[in-house]
Amino acid sequence: MSARLIDGKAIAEQINAETAAAIVRLKTERKITPGLAVVLVGENPASLAYVSSKDKMCARLGMHSVRINLPATTTQAQLLAKINDLNSDRTIHGILVQAPLPSQISEEAIFATITPSKDVDGFHPLNVGKLALGDETGFAPCTPAGVHQLLIRSDVKIEGAHVVVLGRSRIVGRPVSLILSQKSSNANATVTVAHSRSRDLAGVCRSADILVAAIGVPHFVKADMVRDGAVVIDVGINRVEDKTIEKGYRLVGDVDFAPVSQKASLITPVPGGVGPMTIAMLMHNTYRAAVNSIAS
C-alpha cells in the first residue's frame, strides 16, 4: 500500500478562494474591510517568515493588515498597552500576537488581554471555553481548525472513528481532541489524547483510525506505530540539519514519512500539509470577526 497525499496547499487555496469571495461581498454590501493586526516581539527568524506570509496573504485576499514590530526588550506592560490600543481600534477585527514571546512576558496574560471577539488565534480563555462547550460563536485555534478541514475536505469519515492525538499542547493537541469529539456533523469521533507519559504509546497509536501527530519530535512516529490503512495527519514542523543543501537544514514532520506512507491510506506531507491550512484558517477567522463586528 502507498498512501495518497493530502494536499494541504490545494485545500488551503480552496478555503482562501472562499474567504476572498466572502470579503468582496462584505466590502460591497456592508462597506467593511476585515483588518488583522499581527504583533511580533523580537526577531525570531521563523516568526519573521511566518508573519511575512500572513502579510502577503492579507494583501492577496483584500484584507487590511497592520504589522507591529517591537524589540525583544519590550516589557509586558508595554505589550499590554499596545494590545489595549488594538482592542479599541475599530479598523482592526483580529489581533494575533506571534509566539514565542521573550521570557519576561507571560503568554497567558497577553492572550487573556486580547478582546475575545478579536482573538482570531482562539487562545483567550473565553474562546477556549466556548470550544469545550461546542459553542460555534467562538474562535477555534487555527491549526486544529485546519486539521479538521483537511479531514472533511479529504472525505475522511470522522464519525465513529478512533482518533489518537499524539500531543497534549493547548495550541494543537487539546483543541483537536475537542473539535473531533464534538456532538456535531463532521465530528463524533472517539478521541484518545496520548503523550510522552502514556503507557504502551506505540500500541495506542496503532489503535487509531486517524492519527494526528503533534508531539514536536522529528520522525517520532515510526511505521510500527501505524496500522495498515490509517489516516495520518502530521502537524510537526521541525528543522533538522542537512549540509547537502544551501540553507543547511530541511523541514521534517513528527512522522517518519517514507515508511509510514507505505502503511497509511492518507497522509499529509511536511511541508505542504497542515502548514498552509493554519494561515487559511487565520484569514477565515478574521473575516468572521469582521462580520461579527457588525452586530456589536
Q: Contact at 8 Å (CB) between 8 and 281?
A: no
The residue assigned the cell 491550512 is 277
- Which residue type, as a one-letter code, is found at position 243? K
Residues 6+ apart with CB under 8 A from 200: none
- Which residue type, as a one-letter code, is found at position 145? A
In Å, how far are 23, 40, 112, 175, 261 from 171, measured between CA atoms?
27, 18, 14, 7, 26
Q: What letter does residue 227 receive in the DSSP assignment?
A: -
Residues 6+ apart with CB under 8 A from 244: none
Q: Which of 82, 118, 121, 256 is catalytic?
A: 121
Assess whether 234 carries a catalytic annotation.
no
Assess whether 98 carries a catalytic annotation.
yes
Assess whether 85 carries a catalytic annotation.
no
CA–CA gap between residue 204 and residue 107 (Å, rounded): 32
Q: Which of 82, 98, 118, 149 is catalytic?
A: 98
CA–CA gap between residue 226 and residue 210 (Å, rounded): 9
DSSP per-residue codes, 274-288:
HHHHHHHHHHHHHHH
CA–CA gap between residue 92 and residue 36 (Å, rounded): 6
What is the H or E stretch that residue 35 is in? Answer: strand 35-41
Asked if the peptide bond before residue 271 counts as cis, ω within 30 degrees of 0, the response is: yes
Which residues are catalytic, by number? 54, 98, 121
